[in-house]
Each structure stands twice: as structure tokens, then as C-alpha cells.
Amino acid sequence: SRFETCWPALMKDSHGVVIIFNPELPSHLKEIEMWYSCFVQQQPLLDSQCLLVAHHKPGSAGDTENLSLAYPLNKLKLIHSNLEEDPEDVRMEFMKYFRSIITLINESREREEMSIIS
């Protein structure tokens, strides 16, 4: 992509990655493997720092139950968003994700402080 030169700047000091894709586009399913590889594995971030969001367009025949992703994407937290039907559900999942990232940041900060002290 023409933005690849910007990626290192985007990735610098990032604590989490949210990948949003359209599950009905086969090309998207291939692309998220690339995004995961570049933005999560090469950083390296933990899988728990990555959230996948399968976004279903209004009126799409979103078969949310049968989206099976291949390894290593199947290890990641996956939420389905359909803002027509259940925006509150998506909001709750996002909050959970953000809380987990904040916890990770605080824990690593505490570890750093301890290592400076000792």
C-alpha cells in the first residue's frame, strides 16, 4: 500500500491494534493476515493486545456464527459489529478491550519502576 512508509511511525510505542474488516469480502480476509503480521507479530505485541472487528453492513446477510478464521487469527479476540442491531454490545466489548490494554500498560510501567529501584 502507498502508506507503508508511514507504518513505522504509526506503530511506534503503540499498545494495541484494532483491525476492522468486512467479513463478506474474501480479499479482506486475506488482508487481515498481513495487517496482523505487520502490526502485531513484528512489533511484537501480545495477541491480547489485538482486537478483530468483523463489521457487518446494514442489510447484509451477516452470518456471524460461521466466520472461521485460520491460525493465527483464530487466537485473537473477535467481535461482530452490526450497529443497526446491537451497538451496546460492541461498546461493551470495546470497553473490555481498552481496560485490558490499560491494565497491561500499568503493569509494565510498574515493572519498569521496580527495575529502576532495585
pLDDT score recorded for residue 63 = 57
pLDDT score recorded for residue 17 = 95
Distances (CA, A) of 112 to 47, 106, 116: 21, 10, 6
pLDDT score recorded for residue 65 = 59
Residue type, 77: K
**Domain positions in the chain:** 14-117
Closest C-alpha to 73, from 36, 19, 23: 36
pLDDT score recorded for residue 13 = 85
CB 19 within 8 A of CB 51: yes
CA distance 90 to 10: 25
CB 5 within 8 A of CB 38: no
Per-residue pLDDT of the chain (118 residues; tens, 9 = 90+): 567 788 788 888 889 999 999 998 888 888 999 999 999 998 889 999 999 999 988 777 655 556 888 899 999 999 998 877 778 888 999 999 999 999 999 999 999 999 998 7
